[in-house]
Amino acid sequence: MTFNKSALAASISLVTLALAGCGGGSGSQDSGSSASNVTLSGLVVDPYVAQAKVYVDLNNDGIHQFSTEDFAYTDKDGYFSKSKPDANGISIDYCAEGNVRYCLNTSQVSDSAVLRIEGGYDIATGQAFTGSMEMPLTLNGSDQQLGTANPLISLFTAASTSQENAILDFIDPSVAGDALKRATLKAELTQDFLSKDSNGAAGVDPEKFRRAMQIHKAAAILSSALEHKYSLKADALKVNGILPPASAGKFVYAAIAQMLADKSTPVIADWEAALTASDAALQPTTGKPAAEWAANEKTAIAARVSQLFNWFDANKSPLTTGANNETSIAGKQESLYRYARVADFAVGQVKREVKSNSVQNQTNASQTVAGQVLTQISGNTDTFKITDFNSQVDLDNMVNQTTLPKVVPKLPIEGALFVAPTMQTDEITVSGKVIKLNYAEPMSANKTGQANIYFIPSPKSTLEGRVALCVRATEDSSDLKDIKGLDKGVLLTGYWNKLTDFSVNIAITEPISPKQALIVKRTVKASPLDTYQFSLDTASGLETWQGTISHFLNVPPRNDAECVSALTVQ
């Protein structure tokens, strides 16, 4: 199974608000209080990213030093330190309430730190957040409301002044050559473009959203390709006892910023050059030999990035027309989310292509997925096709597996993890506290697994709580592969929260913290309730675990031995 788990700072200060100090989270997220602790709060948008790790990278090396670099996680709405404001504009202060998971406190002082965002999942698409985001920080001992971290902000972390101007002109060509307009645009980039329009009023800003999607999806593909290349060499996974950068995004964003400074309409060769530059910058940090690339493999990846990037240019109005183009903010957000789902679908397919053809120039048969032909050929740069994106029918087909339900029933008081379809069009809720799953890889008789997932609701909410996982897997190649006893059964613990009526997010924290959150969900909207996507991307696609949902009659297992017993009687 795979658990995938500057100058801008001055502009950010224009939208920085002072907040009250609160008890501090540290590198180990211990609660406490200190007069020197300050709070950093904000929001992560790509669209909104929940359960993402947000940490202060003091030396900007792209490596999270858990013992010294403070961190927190975003909540179910993508916020950290302070929750999404309610209808009256009131937010929950996580730090004041002692909720250290969502509280980002730091006592550090630095003018060169970077806020880095990794992992989590996109609440609009239900997909794991791929890659990373970042934003520059000036830690001066004062609380800061950082605004919105998003892919556009990420471009500025390592950009020079001339590069910044070129990037701003790329984001909005109307500001070209006008210093005042550029400064205004830069300040606006920390606003939430899913809740405010280009004038700062309540609404959406589809153009900034489009540009953000365009940049991040390109960065996600390039980052995934690089991370997969270096993760292939498992014998050198750690350097000085720590993992290499969890995301290649630090180097990819810098390469894209340089590319856009030179050319606002990049072609395949430019994307290949950006991939090569990112590879050259990342490789020394890994402690591994240079990655092995098959003939034309970089060109093929660049071609896919280029085509998706150009698709965003050809579809400059992501708001749909007709019945789906509602006048409400929520309706417009849903139109933008559909746009994001299509992009995520394409990114996921390219990621699987990269993994399945990583070291050989192999030609595979074309396959039709959701009505779109995506050809899996690493060495051929001309056959990757995404057709008729503008067709509403094709969009419906493409997003069918991840779209939100048309009718969402109200959650009963006792809580429900999933809904089950009836023969009619209605949805019915199914309560349960444990999922028992089995997995068998068709291509490998030895690759099997079992998992019991125990959901322990929070005393304050039936939508989130703690989770215990008993997992046993053979021939595992995931982030868990080095855990002793995985072939017999191990106990993992963490947190869960309900994402939609079709999926539940799990963030594992002990004994390790995988790069990506685990999402358990029904694989297809109309599928039987006993089919789940238990893990994320693999070389062959999405792994599927078969299981049942039920109540557990006793307390969840408390250690590895009890997990072994529970799995044995499954």
**For the segment 113-164, what is each residue's pLDDT rounded down to a tens digit?**
899 998 777 777 666 677 789 998 888 888 999 999 999 999 998 888 889 9
Confidence of residue 371 (pLDDT cuts 50, 70, 90): very low
Write the DSSP symbol of residue 496.
E
Site of tokens 């005042």: 180
d(Cα 405, Cα 151) in Å, to the nearest integer? 28
d(Cα 285, Cα 203) in Å, to the nearest integer? 42
Q: What is the mean pLDDT of residues 176-185?
A: 93
Nearest one of 196, 163, 145, 43 to 171, comparing CA atoms? 163
CA dihedral 4, 521, 103, 13 (to 10 degrees): 80
Confidence of residue 331 (pLDDT cuts 50, 70, 90): confident
Confidence of residue 271 (pLDDT cuts 50, 70, 90): very high
Check: pTM over 0.75? Answer yes or no. Answer: no
Confidence of residue 24 (pLDDT cuts 50, 70, 90): very low
In tens, the pLDDT along 294-316 reads: 777 888 888 888 888 887 887 77
Task: Give Cα 378 distance to the centre of its chain.
Answer: 25
In tens, the pLDDT along 375-414 reads: 332 223 333 333 322 233 233 343 333 333 322 233 233 3
Cβ neighbours of residue 95 under 8 Å, at least 6 residues apart? 22, 23, 24, 25, 39, 81, 103, 105
Question: DSSP string of 17-79?
Answer: ------PPP-TT------TT-EEEEEEEBTTBEES-EEEEETT-SS---TTTS-EEE--TTSE
What pLDDT, on a 0 to 100 scale, did the predictor assign at position 381?
Answer: 30
What pLDDT, on a 0 to 100 scale, did the predictor assign at position 130?
Answer: 75
In tens, the pLDDT along 96-108 reads: 988 888 999 998 8
Write the DSSP symbol of residue 13.
G
Q: What is the mean pLDDT of residues 164-189?
A: 93
Tokens of 164: 């910044």
pLDDT at 178 over 80: yes
Q: What is the mean pLDDT of residues 530-543?
A: 46
Answer for the pair 345, 353: CB distance below 8 angstroms, yes or no.
no
The larger pLDDT score, comparing residue 467 to residue 508, is at 467
Range scoring the smallest mean pLDDT among 29-43, 239-253, 323-337, 540-554: 540-554
Q: Which residues of 138-177 are buried (b: 16+ CB within 10 A; e: fewer)?
A: bbeeebbbbbbbbbbbbbbbbbeeebbbbbbbbbbeebee
pLDDT at 431 over 70: no
Q: What is the mean pLDDT of the chain?
A: 69
Question: What is the SS3 string spanning 111-156?
Answer: CCCEEEEECCEECCCCCECCCEEEEECCECCCCEEEEEECHHHHCC
Cβ neighbours of residue 148 under 8 Å, at least 6 residues apart? 42, 43, 44, 45, 189, 190, 191, 192, 193
Sign of CA dihedral 29, 32, 35, 38: positive
Answer for the pair 117, 146: CB distance below 8 angstroms, yes or no.
no
pLDDT at 181 over 90: yes
